[in-house]
Structure 1
């Protein structure tokens, strides 16, 4: 005989942490806050789908539902969870880097994290503290690595806090509201959810591709 807890438990165990719709169905608004915190504050969260999660969550606030899923969210609590998770996560990452120095990154064996750290250092050197901290929010992996790196490199607390809050709010609220606006303007937009999420993922990778191309051109020039 099946108990009432059997279905929810199996659903949670089957959650795919790389799939935005799956995360939203399993954990709702709370999951958005946790993912934002983990991706921006903990190095282990570098693989999480931050951009697509925010956009999809905003879209689902309009009544859209992912294919095969029943997720539906409310915009107000979602915006709060996204903003708090993004801001608190970045500040936590900075404090960890400030206390542990470069040891956190040095111990990692992930080639992707190492590449992210290299790009984060280039961001800081090329754009300066303020602009780099804001721009990093929009680059996957870099937004994970730059926060502890800024702490390790001794970026002033006041400078980091001011600009990470500004960047975090623009990134988290901007993508969420973009999804909400699109869902509100296009009838039955949930039918196109998977292609839309695919576009968001591709767009989020454009800054990475541009930085790689720039680095290669610079290396060839030397």
Structure 2
């Protein structure tokens, strides 16, 4: 049991993932975090950023492939992950609204992703890529609401490429500008986690959502949201 707990601790450490699992483990984690609801706790942004810092090592360990190929492979896994989430949402997603919370599943994450989707429409598939936790559940919600497949795939591809390339290139070029960056990875990871999760935390703590009043336990609309009237001075 202690070994399992220790393994899960390592799974949320980007540096450990890169040094012990290399590109193969990165591909698996990106797929799980973007396509399987049980992967919401896995690192995404920080893993990609640190992978950019270790870009040369990753290329050398994978048949000396160019760094752009490494990024492309990871982006493809992000695309495939979202496709699996979309398929899962279409097939059995509505049942998730009736599922009880477990250690690996929290219904509030599903509602949060649905609220982002309702606010931004198809663009939510792109925006969610840059929001931890939300990016795991958004493709599932897209499947639940029967989003047009072509539209979903467009934003899926654009979002995955933008997310992966921006995070990895940032790490890659910052490492070139500051060669001692690897000596401060702990602080870098903490800063990235705080920056990327802060909007989500603020929304969960301070946001007042009326989404539960307008959707039943299956995610079907009960009535259209009532817009607040402007207070006349």
With the length of structure 1 as denominator, give the TM-score of the two structures.
0.81
1-structure distance, mates of 2:92, 2:108 = 20
Indicate which of 157, 175, 181 corresponds to 2:167. Answer: 175
Tell me if 1:116 matches 2:101.
no
Change (3 A) 1:98 1:56: same
Using the TM superposition, give the Cα deviation of residue 104 of structure 1 relative to its aligned residue in structure 2, in angstroms: 4.1
Using the TM superposition, give the Cα deviation of residue 108 of structure 1 relative to its aligned residue in structure 2, in angstroms: 5.2
Change (3 A) 1:167 1:186: same
Change (3 A) 1:214 1:32: same
Tell me if 1:37 matches 2:31.
yes
1-structure distance, mates of 2:154, 2:209 = 33
1:187-210 CA-to-partner distances (Å, cap 9, x unmatched) read 221111111111111111122134
Task: Tell me if structure 2 keeps the 8 A contact 1:29–1:81.
Answer: no
1:27 maps to 21
Change (3 A) 1:212 1:196: same
Question: Number of aligned pairs?
Answer: 199
**Superposition pairs for residues 79-118 of structure 1, below 5 Å?**
79-104=71-96, 106-107=98-99, 109-110=101-102, 113-118=106-111
Task: Tell me if structure 1 keeps the 8 A contact 2:96–2:107.
Answer: no
Task: Tell me if structure 2 keeps the 8 A contact 1:83–1:172.
Answer: yes
Tell me if 1:154 matches 2:146.
yes
With the length of structure 2 as denominator, give the TM-score of the two structures.
0.77
Task: Tell me if structure 1 keeps the 8 A contact 2:99–2:107.
Answer: no
Secondary structure in 2 matching 1:32: helix
1:131-189 CA-to-partner distances (Å, cap 9, x unmatched) read 21111111111100111111011111111111111111111111011110111111221
